[in-house]
Each structure stands twice: as C-alpha cells, then as structure tokens.
C-alpha cells in the first residue's frame, strides 16, 4: 500500500562535480540549501547581497555579482510581490527601514517575472556560456498575503519558471522543491514551529532528492570520502590536551591533505 504521493523527478541531463562553482540566489530557502552545499565543499556563493524574494531582485543580484563565474546557478523564487520606490519608480530589494508611505506594493505578472529571470540568465551566460540554471519555487507560504493570495503568487512563479524551461530546455531546469514539501511531505511534522518554514528534516530530504537529480557517481564518491573527514573536523573533545586527541588531529590533517590532492583535478 502507498501512504504518500512521491514526486517523480527525472534525472537531469547534467551532473554537478566536486568543488562545483555555484551561485544560489533567492529566498531564505535558498540560504538553507546553499549553506548545505557549502558544507559539502561546493564553491558556492549564497545570496551575496542578502535574501532576494522576487525575480526582479534576483536579477539585481546577478547584475551586481562580481565573483567567479558559476558553472551552475540555483534561483529560488519566493514571491511575485515587489516594493516600488515611489520617488524613483524602481523595484527595491530592501526598504532600508524607510517609511512605508515611500513605497508602493505591487504584483509582477507572469511575463514580468519571466522577463526578469530571462535577463538574469542572460547575464550569467555572459560570465560563462556553459552555465546551467536550476529554477525552483520556495515552498514557504506568506501568511501576510493570506493563504489564497500566497498560492496565487506561487502560481505566477511556477508559470514563469515553466516559461523559461520551455524557452531554454538545454540550459534551464526546474526542480520541484515546492511540490516536494506541499505534496510529498504533506504533514505538519515536516514544518518548523511556525508551521510555515520547512523543518531541518524536510530540508535534508529535499537536499537528498536534489542529489538524486543532479549528483553523479564521481560526486557521490567524493562526498562519501569527505563525510568522515568533515565529521572529524567538527569533533569537539572534552580533553583536547590529551595525546590521543593530538594523534587524532594529526591523522585528520593527513587524511584531508590526501583527499584534497586526490581531487585537485576538479579545482579550476
């Protein structure tokens, strides 16, 4: 018997590699996922100018970005709601604690969202013609809109993401984080105490499904060898002055050095 609906996610037509250069931009869900990738030695930049919730602000981040060109970018779309500076007529990424009367809240259309993402991807292509882009919609609902309007906002983002995937299937891929939490993990035990954000367990599960989709054998072997070293480096002993712990540290340093040498070919 089946007691849940499992999301079918096709294997991607590209694979992430050890030390992959990645750029994560988007909502706080992008922060959660991006930090997990950094722990696994991906050379990931995560929201370099802060959390960005809407496609226009994601485009702004990419336009300002001056770091190393990513091979893979992940955009996590949170909302189609934006705040427009009344004096300048432009979408702002941060209201900087200015009075609310100085801004107008509006909702981007599907085409406006798609246009902003299209421009962001175009900028990434200028940095690296081989870049691959993963679009995902944050599963976090926005209580302040009301749950119906929150769902309408997510629908706009889903349609915009689908537009880009249809236009650039060789470059743009959609990963169903939104569907995983709302359909497959359809239970409040997978949510944080606020009943809106995913729990750490849910984030771990979504990461596992991401790995199934984008990780190949080389990367899986890399991560399997890295895991005991990562755990050893994180170990905090009660008695660090003992000879046993000093020997443990020396062995860990030696293992890490051999690991880095073995996989040096993947660092450009």
Per-residue pLDDT tens for 77-101? 999 999 999 999 999 998 888 898 9
**What pLDDT, on the 0 to 100 scale, is given for residue 95?**
82
Q: Does any domain span residue 102?
A: yes
* 9 in any annotated domain: no
Residue 142 or 69, more confident: 69
Of the candidates 12, 161, 194, the one whose C-alpha atom is nearest the C-alpha of residue 80 is 161
Q: Which of 141, 48, 155, 37 has the alpha carbon at shortest distance from 107?
A: 155
Please report whether residue 169 resides in a domain.
Answer: yes
User: Are 259 and 225 within 8 A, CB to CB?
Assistant: yes
Res 4 pLDDT > 90: no
Q: How confident is the model at residue 260 (pLDDT cuts 50, 70, 90)?
A: very high
- The H or E element that residue 223 is part of is helix 217-234
Both tokens of 93, joined, read: 């990424």
- What's the rounded Cα separation, in Å, for the pair 83 and 79? 12
Predicted pLDDT at 236 = 87
User: Which one has a higher pLDDT value, 237 or 37?
Assistant: 37
Do 111 and 151 reside in the same domain of the chain?
yes
Same domain, 162 and 53: yes
Q: Is the pLDDT of residue 201 over 90?
A: yes
* Contacting residues for 249 by C-beta, under 8 A, at least 6 apart: none
Query: Whole-number mean pLDDT of the chain?
Result: 93
> Could you tell me the pLDDT band of residue 72, with boundaries at 50, 70 and 90?
very high
Total count of domains within the chain: 2
- Number of alpha carbons in the 13 Å side-chain half-sphere of residue 237: 13
| Residue-number span of the structural domain to which 89 is assigned | 21-215
Q: Is residue 3 part of a domain?
A: no
Are 41 and 66 in the same domain?
A: yes
Read off the pLDDT of each residue in 235-247 and give the average, rounded to a whole number: 85
- Which pLDDT band, with edges at 50, 70 and 90, does 196 fall under? confident
At 239 the pLDDT is 81
With CA atoms as reference, report the closest residue to 142 among 34, 29, 57: 29
Q: What is the mean pLDDT of residues 109-121?
A: 98
Residue 32 CB coordination number (10 Å): 22
Crossing angle for the helix pair 200-214 and 28-39, nearest 10 degrees?
70
- Asked if 185 and 137 sit in the same domain, the reply is yes
In a domain, 2, yes or no: no
pLDDT over 80 at 1, yes or no: no
pLDDT at residue number 211: 96
Together in a domain, 56 and 87: yes
Look up the CATH number of the domain holding residue 171: 3.40.50.1110
Strands (E), 98-253: 103-107, 132-137, 172-174
Same domain for 107 and 235? no
Look at residue 138 in the predicted model and tell me its pLDDT.
Answer: 93
End position of a domain, from candidates 199, 215, 231 = 215
Q: Are 111 and 161 in contact (CB under 8 A)?
A: no
Q: Do 86 and 202 have their domain in common?
A: yes
For position 176, what pLDDT does the model report?
97
Out of 115-119, 164-168, 203-207, least confident range = 203-207
Check whether residue 54 and residue 102 sit in a common domain: yes
Q: Which residues pair with residue 180 across a beta bridge?
A: none
193 lies in the same domain as 259: no
Residue 208, domain member (yes or no): yes
**What letter does residue 50 receive in the DSSP assignment?**
S
Sheet holding 103-107, edge to edge: 90-92, 81-85, 103-107
Q: How far is it, in rounded angstroms, from Cα 48 to Cα 180?
A: 27
Model confidence band, residue 32 (pLDDT cutoffs 50, 70, 90): confident
Query: At residue 136, does pLDDT exceed 80?
Result: yes
- State the Cα–Cα distance between residues 118 and 31, nearest whole angstrom: 22
- State whether 206 and 239 are in the same domain: no
What are the backbone dihedrals phi and psi of residue 68, each rounded to the nearest 5 degrees, phi first?
Answer: -65, 140
What does the DSSP assignment read for 37-82? HHHTT-EEEE-TTS---SHHHHHHHHHH--SPPPSEEEEEE--SEE
- What's the confidence (pLDDT) of residue 29? 83
Q: What are phi and psi of 108, to 5 degrees?
A: -75, 145
Q: Is residue 211 assigned to a domain?
A: yes
Q: State how far the Cα of 20 lies from the Cα of 72, in Å rounded to an integer.
A: 8
Q: Read off the pLDDT band of 188 (50, 70, 90).
A: confident
State mean pLDDT over 46-68: 96
pTM, two decimals, is 0.93
**Domain co-membership, 204 together with 256:** no
What is the model's pLDDT at position 91?
Answer: 95
Distance from the Cα of residue 214 to its chain's centroid: 13
Question: From the CB of residue 39, how many other CB atoms can be counted at a distance below 10 Å?
Answer: 12
Tell me: do 57 and 158 sit in the same domain.
yes
């Amino acid at each position: 018997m089946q007691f849940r609906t499992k999301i079918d996610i096709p294997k991607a037509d590209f694979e992430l590699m050890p030390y992959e250069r990645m750029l994560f931009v988007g909502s706080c869900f992008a922060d959660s996922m991006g930090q997990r990738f950094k722990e696994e030695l991906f050379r990931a930049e995560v929201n370099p100018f802060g959390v960005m919730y809407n496609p226009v602000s994601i485009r702004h981040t990419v336009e300002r970005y001056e770091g190393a060109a990513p091979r893979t970018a992940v955009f996590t779309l949170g909302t189609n709601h934006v705040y427009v500076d009344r004096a300048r007529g432009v979408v702002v990424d941060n209201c900087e604690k200015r009075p609310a009367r100085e801004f107008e809240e509006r909702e981007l259309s599907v085409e406006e969202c798609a246009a902003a993402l299209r421009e962001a991807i175009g900028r990434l292509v200028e940095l690296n013609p081989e870049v691959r882009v993963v679009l995902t919609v944050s599963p976090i609902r926005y209580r302040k809109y009301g749950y119906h309007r929150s769902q309408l906002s997510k629908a706009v983002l889903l349609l915009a993401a689908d537009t880009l995937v249809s236009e650039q299937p060789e470059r743009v891929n959609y990963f169903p984080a939104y569907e995983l939490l709302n359909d497959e993990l359809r239970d409040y035990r997978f949510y944080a105490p606020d009943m809106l954000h995913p729990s750490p367990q849910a984030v771990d599960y979504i990461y596992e499904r991401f790995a199934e989709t984008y990780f190949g054998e080389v990367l899986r072997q890399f991560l399997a060898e890295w895991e005991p070293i990562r755990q050893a480096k994180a170990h905090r002993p009660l008695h660090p002055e003992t000879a046993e712990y000093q020997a443990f540290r020396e062995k860990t340093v030696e293992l890490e050095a051999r690991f880095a040498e073995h996989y040096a070919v993947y660092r450009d």
